[in-house]
């Protein structure tokens, strides 16, 4: 006892703000020990019980379990070490809560979500890094039409009877790249389409990843992007087959975006006479990319190319990709394509 001061359990409850039931429970768990008992068996607590219960209450509010709290109040563990361990545990919980909130937010944003959609979104949000990589690789393999890569376990192994000395790396003949090896530009394009969800992703990044992963599983979207990649490859091969030393020619979508954006920003209507110079510049710059220089009906062929390249979900994919990777938001190309197509259509009819 300190100066003969002692408190009943009710007095201790008033001083600490804890209920009598909670203090009795902590006492039964030996987190706070009575200093004495009355002849009738009632517990009496010393002044140190007030500080001890305040510490126990704080630690419980921080989410620590009773066994850990017991070790702290009995001092085998330093408070700093326990706090650091608790911070790490909270980081895991926060990450899990962020995933849950992202999934629920995505579900709530839909007009009529189904349980199947919610289940898919939850599964996509909780994929491991390896599983995320496998999903995206499957999408990009389908888009770039990459052949399946055999694993090391699938490779045939020579039998001992067939074994023969192998040349050392220095003696081995140079290996030629296979005829269907991806072009370096194609590899760069593939990398530019690859999402990389960071370890400590924000809720916005997690939500974007779920939407992007769901989009990548859509067969129609895969087919549309595959057509765009083929178009890009065809333009590249055509450019590379041109005159040596000439600068590369951008594809029609990039040209349309660059040429048309000023007209869009200025509010020029595609069918207005003010759009004539813009359309003329568009045709002039796109003709080399399409191998159509001097074509008798330039508006028709360019219109066909732009309509084939129109895929609004490409803008969605690139926007989500930028969010996941922490890149600046890309400029959508669909408005430029629509303006250019409308302008070309008006002049094709007029011609």
Higher pLDDT, 86 or 152: 86
Taking the chain, what is the end-to-end CA distance rounded to the nearest angstrom? 106
What are the phi and psi torsion angles at 23 (to 5°)?
Answer: -65, -40
Cα separation, 9 vs 37, whole angstroms: 11
**pLDDT of the residue at 107:** 78
pLDDT in tens, 243-285: 444 444 457 888 899 999 999 999 999 999 999 999 999 988 8
CB 290 within 8 A of CB 254: no
- The rounded mean pLDDT for the chain is 79
**How much of the chain, in percent, has pLDDT values that exceed 90?**
37
CB 5 within 8 A of CB 49: no
Closest CA to 132 of 201, 197, 37: 197
CB 126 within 8 A of CB 101: no
Residue 72's pLDDT band (cuts 50, 70, 90):
confident
Q: Classify 7 as helix, strand or coil.
A: strand
Sign of CA dihedral 265, 269, 273, 277: positive
**pLDDT of the residue at 94:** 80
CB 205 within 8 A of CB 98: no
Q: What is the mean pLDDT of residues 24-35?
A: 92
pLDDT in tens, 141-184: 999 887 654 433 344 444 444 444 444 444 443 333 344 455 66
Higher pLDDT, 39 or 76: 39
CB 309 within 8 A of CB 290: no
Higher pLDDT, 83 or 345: 345
Cα separation, 80 vs 246, whole angstroms: 66
**pLDDT of the residue at 172:** 42
Cα separation, 237 vs 183, whole angstroms: 10
Q: Is the pLDDT of residue 311 over 80?
A: yes
Q: What is the pTM of this model?
A: 0.61
Cα separation, 251 vs 234, whole angstroms: 10
Residue with token string 């600046």: 328
**How much of the chain, in percent, has pLDDT values that exceed 70?**
77
Residue 1's pLDDT band (cuts 50, 70, 90):
very low
Q: Is the pLDDT of residue 207 over 50?
A: yes
Q: Classify 230 as helix, strand or coil.
A: helix
Q: What is the mean pLDDT of residues 66-82?
A: 75
Look up residue 276 and give its DSSP letter. H
């Amino acid at each position: 006892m300190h100066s003969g001061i002692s408190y009943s359990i009710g007095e201790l409850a008033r001083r600490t703000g804890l209920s009598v039931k909670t203090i009795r429970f902590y006492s039964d768990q030996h987190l706070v020990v009575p200093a004495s008992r009355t002849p009738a068996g009632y517990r009496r607590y010393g002044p140190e019980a007030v500080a001890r219960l305040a510490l126990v209450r704080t630690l419980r509010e921080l989410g620590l379990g009773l066994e850990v709290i017991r070790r702290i109040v009995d001092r085998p563990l330093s408070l700093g070490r326990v706090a650091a361990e608790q911070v790490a545990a909270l980081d895991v919980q926060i990450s899990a809560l962020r995933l849950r909130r992202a999934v629920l937010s995505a579900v709530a944003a839909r007009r009529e979500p189904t349980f199947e959609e919610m289940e898919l979104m939850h599964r996509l949000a909780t994929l491991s890094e390896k599983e995320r990589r496998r999903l995206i690789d499957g999408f990009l393999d389908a888009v770039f039409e990459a052949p399946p890569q055999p694993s090391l376990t699938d490779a045939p192994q020579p039998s001992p009877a067939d074994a023969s000395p192998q040349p050392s790396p220095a003696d081995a003949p140079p290996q030629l790249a296979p005829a269907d090896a991806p072009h370096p530009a194609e590899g760069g394009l593939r990398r530019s389409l690859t999402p990389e969800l960071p370890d400590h992703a924000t809720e916005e990044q997690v939500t974007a990843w779920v939407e992007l992963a769901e989009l990548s599983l859509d067969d129609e979207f895969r087919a549309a992007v595959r057509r765009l990649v083929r178009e890009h490859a065809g333009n590249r091969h055509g450019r590379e087959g041109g005159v040596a030393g000439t600068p590369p020619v951008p594809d029609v979508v990039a040209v349309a975006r660059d040429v048309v954006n000023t007209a869009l920003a200025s509010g020029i209507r595609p069918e207005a006479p003010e759009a004539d110079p813009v359309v003329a510049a568009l045709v002039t710059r796109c003709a080399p990319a399409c191998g159509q220089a001097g074509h008798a009906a330039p508006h028709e062929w360019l219109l066909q190319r732009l309509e084939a390249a129109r895929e609004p979900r490409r803008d969605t994919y690139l926007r989500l990709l930028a969010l996941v990777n922490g890149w600046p938001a890309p400029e959508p190309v669909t408005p430029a394509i629509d303006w250019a197509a409308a302008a070309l259509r008006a002049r094709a009819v007029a011609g």
